[in-house]
Amino acid sequence: MTANGAIDAATLDHLQRLAHSRPGSGREAQAKASALRTLERLNRRGRVALPPCPPDWYPPNQAEFEELDRVHLEEHPEVRQRMWEIWHGY
């Protein structure tokens, strides 16, 4: 880690290896849990808030499916919200 709190590539690589490892002891399990928490915190810190989903939004270039999905999406707006999040990488 650098003085300004940024994480260098070698440390990030080490954290990712720890997070994907299979611990063989209690100490290794603690190291894995700590690496997972650190990666989660780094992921949250760098993320920008997603703007709200417009009520009539549908993924572009899929008009033929929109017509089929319209009734379901009106009954279940959470499905449209999840599509919005997935489309924007959340």
58-72 pLDDT tens trace: 888 887 788 888 888
Residue 80 within any structural domain of the chain:
yes
For residue 6, the model assigns a pLDDT of 64
- Asked if residue 63 and residue 30 are part of one domain, the reply reads no
* Domain around 23: 9-45
Q: What was the pLDDT predicted at 85?
A: 84
Q: Does 33 share its domain with 60?
A: no
Q: What's the total number of domains in the chain?
A: 2
Do residues 8 and 1 lie in contact, with contact meaning Cβ atoms separated by under 8 Å? yes
Query: In this structure, are 61 and 85 located in the same domain?
Result: yes
Give the per-residue pLDDT at 2.
46
| Residue 19 and residue 54 in one domain | no
Grouped pLDDT means (10 residues each) for the chain, 90 residues? 62 89 94 90 72 84 82 89 82
The answer to the question of residue 2 being in a domain is no
User: What pTM does this model have?
Assistant: 0.47
Of 52, 56, 51, nearest in space to 73 by CA: 56
Question: Amino acid letter at 50?
Answer: L
Q: What tokens appear for 32 in the block?
A: 């894995």
